[in-house]
């Protein structure tokens, strides 16, 4: 969340950011509630000071054996007034906090202003468009023909939006995330984490998923726990309520997790195949950085995620997201979209984001700087990569005319030497 002092001193900047992000933050109401809180706090402090001063007078009167009954009676009334003011302060604090947590982060200065994804800026393309001497099939046909993806039985088990991986389909999924983890840990310097898939409400709040996106989450009602929508949530919360050593920054983690999303409001979109599913696997990249280096670290994180697609030989492009397509919590984001020739579309496989200190404030993640002052870290994350759409691009790109699928060389050792998935 944003610092309240920053909002007070930069109200118009915050309003502009809310407008550009197409969010609904209530800045004027926040300032009014904040003013009311400060007024209450001033009055309450005045009453406390009067109570303290009079208490000393009463003590002096008692020592000199003088009558203090009238003052004692007055102070009982004053004590009750203070309790009432303290309750008012608690109420206004709750009201203030409820508004602050719903105000989005401020876009970085170089983020293009735009209403929606149509204003996103393409900044890079990589790879040559593969030419086929036949019409490439979509992944759901490729997977069904090879009997490695079973959409009907996935739906029978769990409902629409779930996939059953079978045989070499399951093995290819495992090969992909093992390849990604090995790449990020051995070449890119990330430490591997295997976190819980269920998290508490504070964890979801810390990374900004709730309250805004609560309807999109799978929740266990009795325990008030959430199935994670992304590995970002448990990994970022590893250092919640901690003060990190500056000597350890940046801290870089990678994690394989399953992810769960209800996709509320996405009904009717990408219903065929596994472009949009309720459960999917992902390899996450998370960084905790010094504020001075976070944007350099974002560029490095982007390069790390790109490397996966380069080694797989998959064509992709990079978009710099405009303000209207940025997430609630991010200041800057790059999307990596891989080309899927069977469905003839670019598919997002990674969003690499800088949140500056927005998540760190919500999660209370700090570090002690060289000047010995305690400050908030900057947090970053990105997918390295999300598996379903990477699998889509791989099956559609490497399909052969006879219905088989070639295995990229970098994955063959993870597939036990298998070079081709055959019918």
**Each residue of 60-104: pLDDT tens digit?**
877 777 787 777 778 788 888 888 888 988 999 999 999 999 999
User: Are 288 and 392 in a shared domain?
Assistant: yes
Nearest by Cα to 328 from 232, 192, 210: 210
Nearest by Cα to 306 from 319, 324, 323: 319
Q: Is 267's pLDDT higher than 70?
A: no
Measured between alpha carbons, how far is 50 from 405 in angstroms, rounded to an integer?
Answer: 82
- 364-419 confidence digits (pLDDT tens): 999 999 999 999 999 999 999 999 999 999 999 999 999 999 999 999 999 999 99
Specify the pLDDT at position 266: 52
* CA dihedral over 294, 298, 299, 300, signed as positive or negative: positive
User: Are 325 and 181 in a shared domain?
Assistant: yes
User: Are 212 and 75 in a shared domain?
Assistant: no
Residue 283 is assigned to a structural domain of this protein: yes
Specify the pLDDT at position 265: 45
Residue 147 is assigned to a structural domain of this protein: yes
Looking at per-residue confidence, does 403 or 48 come out higher? 403
Nearest by Cα to 236 from 398, 412, 355, 414: 355
Looking at per-residue confidence, does 52 or 283 come out higher? 283
User: Are 55 and 165 in a shared domain?
Assistant: no
Nearest by Cα to 184 from 351, 303, 317, 355: 303
Contact status, residue 102 vs residue 212, Cβ threshold 8 Å = yes
Q: Find the CATH number of the domain harbouring 374.
A: 3.30.930.10
Specify the pLDDT at position 268: 53
User: Are 79 and 143 in a shared domain?
Assistant: no
Residue 387 is assigned to a structural domain of this protein: yes
Tally of domains within the chain: 2
Q: Is 47's pLDDT higher than 90?
A: no
Q: Is 206's pLDDT higher than 90?
A: yes
User: Are 335 and 200 in a shared domain?
Assistant: yes
Residue 112 is assigned to a structural domain of this protein: no
Domain that holds residue 289: 117-421
> Considering 56, 75, 100, which residue would you say is the last residue of a domain?
100
* Mean pLDDT to the nearest integer, 25-45: 92
Question: Band of the pLDDT at 269, cuts 50, 70, 90?
Answer: low
Least confidently predicted of 49-53, 180-184, 186-190, 257-261: 49-53
Q: Is 271's pLDDT higher than 80?
A: no
Please provide the average confidence, as pLDDT, over all residues in the chain.
94
User: Are 123 and 52 in a shared domain?
Assistant: no
Question: Band of the pLDDT at 270, cuts 50, 70, 90?
Answer: low
> Considering 100, 135, 157, which residue would you say is the last residue of a domain?
100
Specify the pLDDT at position 67: 80
Q: Which residues pair with 280 in a beta bridge?
A: 259
* Mean pLDDT to the nearest integer, 131-159: 96
* Mean pLDDT to the nearest integer, 263-272: 59
- Pairing state of beta strands 242-245 and 365-368? parallel
pTM: 0.91
User: Are 225 and 308 in a shared domain?
Assistant: yes
Active site residues: 261, 276, 348, 351, 389
């Amino acid at each position: 969340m944003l610092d309240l002092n920053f909002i007070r001193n930069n109200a118009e900047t915050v309003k502009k950011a809310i407008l550009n992000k197409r969010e609904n933050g209530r800045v004027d109401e926040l300032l009014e509630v904040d003013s009311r809180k400060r007024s209450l706090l001033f009055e309450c402090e005045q009453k406390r000071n009067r109570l303290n001063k009079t208490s000393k007078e009463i003590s002096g009167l008692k020592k000199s054996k003088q009558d203090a009954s009238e003052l004692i009676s007055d102070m009982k009334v004053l004590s009750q007034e203070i309790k009432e003011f303290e309750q008012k302060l608690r109420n206004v604090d709750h009201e203030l906090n409820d508004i602050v947590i719903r105000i989005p982060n401020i876009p970085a200065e170089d983020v293009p202003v735009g209403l929606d994804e149509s204003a996103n800026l393409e900044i890079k393309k990589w790879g040559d468009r593969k030419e086929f001497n036949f019409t490439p099939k979509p992944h759901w046909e490729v997977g069904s023909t090879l009997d490695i993806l079973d959409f009907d039985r996935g739906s029978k088990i769990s409902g629409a939006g779930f996939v059953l991986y079978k045989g070499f389909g399951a093995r290819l999924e495992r090969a992909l995330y093992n390849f990604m983890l090995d790449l990020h840990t051995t070449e890119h310097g990330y430490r591997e984490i295997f976190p819980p898939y269920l998290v508490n409400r504070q964890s979801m709040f810390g990374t900004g998923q709730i309250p805004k996106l609560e309807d999109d989450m799978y929740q266990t009602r009795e325990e008030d726990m959430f199935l994670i929508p992304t590995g970002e949530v448990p990994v970022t919360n590893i250092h919640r309520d901690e003060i990190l050593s500056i000597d350890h920054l940046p801290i870089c983690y990678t994690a394989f997790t399953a992810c769960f999303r209800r996709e509320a409001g996405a009904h009717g979109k990408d219903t065929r195949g596994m472009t949009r599913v309720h459960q999917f696997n992902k390899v996450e990249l998370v960084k905790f950085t010094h504020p001075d280096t976070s944007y350099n670290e974002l560029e490095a994180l982007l390069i790390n995620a790109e490397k996966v697609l380069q080694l797989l030989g998959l064509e992709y492009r990079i978009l710099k997201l405009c303000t209207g397509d940025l997430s609630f919590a991010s200041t800057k984001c790059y999307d990596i979209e891989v080309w899927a020739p069977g469905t003839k579309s670019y598919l997002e496989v990674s969003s690499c984001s800088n949140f500056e200190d927005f998540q760190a404030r919500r999660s209370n993640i700090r570090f002690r700087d060289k000047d010995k002052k305690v400050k908030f870290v900057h947090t970053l994350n990105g997918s390295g990569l999300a598996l379903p759409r990477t699998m889509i691009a791989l099956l559609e790109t490497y399909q052969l005319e006879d219905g088989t699928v070639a295995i990229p060389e970098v994955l063959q050792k993870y597939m036990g030497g298998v070079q081709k998935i055959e019918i």
